[in-house]
Structure 1
Amino acid sequence: MTDTYAKTQFEQVLLTSGLGALTGERYKESLRDGREVWLNGERIEDVTVHPAFKGTVDRLAELYDLQHSEGLRDVMTYVDEDSGIRLSKSYLLPRTLDELKEKYANSHAWMQNTWGQLGRSPDYMANVVVGLYDFRDELEGNREGFGQNAVDYWKHCAYNDLALTHALGDPQIDRSKSVLDDPDQGLRIIEEREDGIVVRGAKQLATLAPLSNEVLSYLSASFAVREAEEFVLWFALPMNTPGLKILCREPLGDHEWGHGHPFARQYDEQDSMLFFDDVFIPWQRVFLMHDGPLALTGLRRITPWAGYSSHIRFEQRMKTYLGVASLVADSIGVSGFRNIQEQLGEMTSVVEIARFLTLATEAQHTTTSGGLVAPVSSPAVGVYSANISGRMQEILRRIAASGMLMQPSQADLDSEELRPFLEKYMKGADGMGVDEKARIFRLAWDLAGDGFGQRQELYEFLHRGDVTRNLIGLYHRYDKSDLIGRIKTMVSAPLPE
C-alpha cells in the first residue's frame, strides 16, 4: 500500500484469512447467515432456495464462477502483491491508465454476461468502495480513525470479494416536511457509546439487499443544515446485523402460467426497504459523521469508478434492445420497411453514442488527490442515459406491436392439439419456426412490456439521482466564463450589418 496508513491488526488477519475472488458456491453459502428477510408478510429462511430469489442467486453464482474460468480469469481477477491472493478487479485500485483499462475490461465482462440487465451487479458497489478508499484522507479529517476505517473496509471487501448494496434514499412519508419536523423521515444516530453508535430509522431502495453480504450507507448530504447533524452518517454493516430488517418488493417474472421470463428470472435483483431497529454500529465501521458539506463533496469523489461501471452496463443494455428489436423485425418480415430501418438506425445511434461516452470518460481521466486514476465524471452522461433509455423501450414496442401481447407459452408449444394451429398461424417470416419466434418475442416482452421491463426503466431513470437536480447542478458547475466573456465583447459594440 502506498499511502501513510499503517496496517492494522484487522488488516493483518485479512492477509492470512481472506479467500479472495468468490466462487459461486462460496457466494451462496455466504447468504445463509441468518439475515432477516421479509417477503409478502413471511420471513424467508434461505434466499438461495426460495423461488422468488433462486433464479438470480444462481445466475450471480455463475458469474462469480466466471472469475475462475480459463478465458476470463486474468480479465476479472489479479494477484495481490501483499498476500499472493487472487482478488477481483472490481476492487482493483487503479494507479495507472493501464490499470483503469483493466477495470474497464472486467466491468465489460460483468455487463456483457448479464445483457446489461443487472444494475446493481457486485462490480458497481465494489467500485464505490474503491472511491471510499480514495477519499480516506478527507474522512480522516472528519474524525481520527475514519480514514483508517475506509482503508480497512476496502481490504475487508476486496479480500473476501463481498457483494454489497447501498442504502441512500429516505422514507417517502411527507416530502413537504424535513427531518427536523419528523425525525422518522431520516436514519439518525440516537446514541453514541464508547464502542460505537446506535441508529434508528429506514432507508430505501436498497437494490440487491437480500442477496448482498453488506450494506454501505453514504449519502445524507441533504441534511447539511446545522440542526440535523445526527442524520449525516456514512457506515457499513453485514446484512445479518441484529435489528436490521429487509423488506422486499413483489418479485418479478411470475412462472405460474408457464410463460418464460428469461431476463426477469435471472436478473430480478430485488429492491428493498431497510429498517434499522436501534442497530448498533461499531466505530470501526463508521466513515463520516455530522458533516453535511463533506458528505456532499464525498458523494462526487467516491462515485467516478462506479459511474464508469454503470455506463458500461448502460451500453450493454442498449445493445440488448437493439439486438432484440432487430430480431423482432426480421421475425415478422418488416426489417426492410423504410420506417423500421429508420427506427433501428436511431437505436444504433444510441448504442454508438453510449460507446463513445464510455471511451470519453476514460480518455479524460484524472489523478485524484488520493492517488488513483479516475475516469472523468459528468452528470451529463447520467442525464443522457436516463432520458434516452425510455425511447429505446418505446421503439421496441412499436416494432413488435401487438405481437408482444400474444405469444404461446412453452406448454402451448408442447400441446399436440394446438401445435398445428401454432405452426400455421403463429410462425415467423422466411421459414422461422413458431418456437424461435415466440422466444424472441418473450425477450421483447421482458424488456419492454411486463413489470420487469418497467422496473428496469424506472431504475435507469432514477438510480443516478434526480434528473432535474442533476441538470441544474450541471449548468451551475459548467465553466461558461470564456464563452460569456466573448459574447459580451461581441455585443459591446454595434453588430455588423
Structure 2
Amino acid sequence: MIRTGEQYRESLRDDRAVWINGDRVKDVTRHPSFKPIVDARARIYDMAHDSRLAPVMTYTDEETRETNCIGYKLPFTQEDWQAKRRAVDTVMKDLGGVVVRVGDETIGEMWSLYDGQDVLREVDPRFADNIRNHIWKALRSDTFHVSANTDPKGDRSKRPQEQDPDMLLHVVKETDAGIVVRGAKYETAAAYANQAFVKPTIANWGDDKLSDYAVGFICEMNRPGLKHICRTGFAGRAPARDYPLANKFDEVDTLLIFDNVLIPWENVLFYRHTRAASFIRGTLHRYSAFPFVLRLLYVADMMIGAALFNVRQTGLDQQQAVREKLALLACYRETINAHMTAAIAMAEKSPAGLLMPNQSLLYTGRVHACSKLPEMMHIARELCGGQICVTPDSATFDHPETKAWMDKFYNVNEYWVAEDRRKLLAFARDLLNSDYAGHRVTFELFAQSPPFAHLNAVYMNFGWNGPLEFVRKAADLSDRVMEQGKKKPA
C-alpha cells in the first residue's frame, strides 16, 4: 500500500549509522543537510493521498485491488509509460524543481535483472525467484529504493586481488544465513532511502568465472555493519532566498561502507556469477534511463524560463542574436522531448515480456541530453547576463541603509521591481553558477555511467544492419558481405 510522508520519515528513524561533516547524525529527517530533500520525498508520498493528484500518482493493482505507486508499476503497455511520464511531470511542477533520486528511476534497474531470469537460473534457481519477489515487495511496500553502483575503485591498472581487496565490494564468506560482504559503494540518497540494489561495476571479467566480486543483492540501509559517510551538503550553506535550489533539492551523496555486512540469502540476486554481472552491466539502464533523461527536460525548462525572463525584462528578446540563442535552448529541450516521445512510440518487448523504451532512441537521447548540458548552461548564462554573478545578497536588498540603492538600480519598469528581479537573478545564479550548479553538471554526466559508457550503449543498441543493407544495395555488393556485417557486436 502507498505510504504517507510521515510513514516514510518514521521509516528512516531506524538507528542507521550516518555521518556528515565529521558528525554522527541522530535523525536524518531533522538534520539541516537532509531535511529539505527528505521533505521533498515525503511530499511525493503525500501527493499519492491528495485527492486531486492521486489519479496521476497511483493505480489500482488488478490482482490485489490495492493502490500502488505508478512509478514502480512494471511497464507492459505504452500507456504505462505515458502514465509514468505524467506522474514525473506532476511531481516536478508540484515541487518547483528537479529531484533525480526518488525511486522511479532506480527500480528500473531491477526490471533489467527481471529480464535476465534465465541467466540467474544458471547458478541457482533461487536467484530468479529472489528478483521477482523483490520487485513485487518494492511495489507493494512503497519503499524508497535506490541503487548503489560506483566503487572507490583503487588502482584500476591492477586486478582487485593485487591490491587492497576492499577497493571493490566482495564476498568474504558464506553462512547458513547468507553472504558476508566487505568494501564500499557510492550512492546518492542512500542516507534517506530504505534499501539499495547493490551490484558490480566491472565490465571486463576476463577469465574470472567465479569471482567473489560478481555479486548483486538488496541491502536495507540500516543493516548492522553498514555505515553512511556523506559529502558536505549544499543546504544551509547560505540563505534560501539567495540559493533557492541548493537549499531545497540537494540530493546528498553517500559513501556506503560495508564492514562485514550480512546479506540474507533471500536478498541475494546473483553471486559468483560473472555472466549475470556482465548481463546487468550491459542492460542496467534499459528502463531507468527514461526517467533519468526525462529529468533533464525540466532542467532545460528552467534554463529557458530563467533566460527568457531575463532578456524580456529589458527588451533584448527583440534582437536576432538573442533569439538565436533562445532557439538553441529550445532545440535542446525539444530534442530530448522527441527522443523520449519516440522511444515510447517505438517501444520494444523485453525478454521477460515487459515493454522497454526503444533502446537506440533512448540511449541516443541520453547522449544528447547529457553531453550538451554544459554547452546549454553556458548559453543560458550568456542570456542571463553578468549580473547573476555580481548581484548582492538578499540581506543587502533588505537593509535600511542600502535598500534604496538596490531598489533604484534593480527596478527595471512597472513590471519588474527590484525584489522580483533579485529573485530571478538568485534563481539563475543557483541554477547556472553556484557550487550546486557545478555539482549538478558532473552528476548528470556520471550519474548513470560515464560519457564513454553512454556512447557504448548506443553502439550496442543501434540498428547497424539498416545502413549496411542500404549501402550493400546502393553499391551493388554481394550478399556475402552482409554475413560479417550482421554479426552482433561483442
Q: Considering the TM-score relative to the shorter chain, is it more than 0.5?
A: yes
Which residues in structure 2 correspond to 1:25-424 (within 5 Å)? 25-114=6-95, 117-182=98-163, 183-204=165-186, 206-222=187-203, 224-227=205-208, 229-256=211-238, 259-378=241-360, 379-424=363-408
Deviation at 1:360, TM superposition (A): 0.8
Distance 2:388 2:471 in 1: 52
Deviation at 1:235, TM superposition (A): 0.4
- Stretch deviating more after TM superposition (109-118 or 225-234): 109-118
Instruction: Assess if the C-alpha contact under 8 Å between 1:330 and 1:429 holds in 2.
Output: no
Gaps of 5+ in 2: 478-490
Instruction: Assess if the C-alpha contact under 8 Å between 2:97 and 2:249 holds in 1.
Output: no
Instruction: Assess if the C-alpha contact under 8 Å between 2:195 and 2:218 holds in 1.
Output: yes
Instruction: Assess if the C-alpha contact under 8 Å between 1:115 and 1:320 holds in 2.
Output: no
Deviation at 1:332, TM superposition (A): 4.0
Instruction: Assess if the C-alpha contact under 8 Å between 2:151 and 2:201 holds in 1.
Output: no
> Which amino acid in 1 is paired with 2:380?
L
Deviation at 1:84, TM superposition (A): 2.6
Deviation at 1:489, TM superposition (A): 6.4
- Stretch deviating more after TM superposition (303-312 or 315-324): 303-312
Instruction: Assess if the C-alpha contact under 8 Å between 1:115 and 1:316 holds in 2.
Output: no
Give the 3 Å change call, closer, same or farther, for CA 200–334 of structure 1 in structure 2: same
Give the 3 Å change call, closer, same or farther, for CA 235–351 of structure 1 in structure 2: same
Distance 1:302 1:475 in 2: 15
Distance 2:18 2:467 in 1: 54
SS in 1 for 2:122: helix
SS in 1 for 2:228: strand
Distance 1:258 1:114 in 2: 15
Question: Is the counterpart of residue 444 in structure 1 residue 428 in structure 2?
Answer: yes
Distance 1:110 1:302 in 2: 24
Q: CA RMSD in A?
A: 2.2
Deviation at 1:346, TM superposition (A): 0.5
Give the 3 Å change call, closer, same or farther, for CA 253–74 of structure 1 in structure 2: same
Distance 1:362 1:479 in 2: 17
Deviations 1:38-70 (A, max 9, x none): 111111010111111111111221122111212
Aligned to 2:440: 456
Give the 3 Å change call, closer, same or farther, for CA 476–60 of structure 1 in structure 2: closer
Distance 2:96 2:366 in 1: 19
Give the 3 Å change call, closer, same or farther, for CA 145–398 of structure 1 in structure 2: same
Deviations 1:370-404 (A, max 9, x none): 12122112332221111111112101211223211
Aligned to 1:13: none
Q: TM-score, normalised by structure 2?
A: 0.90
Distance 2:269 2:129 in 1: 9
Give the 3 Å change call, closer, same or farther, for CA 83–469 of structure 1 in structure 2: closer
Give the 3 Å change call, closer, same or farther, for CA 40–336 of structure 1 in structure 2: same
Distance 1:163 1:79 in 2: 19
- How many residues are paired up? 473
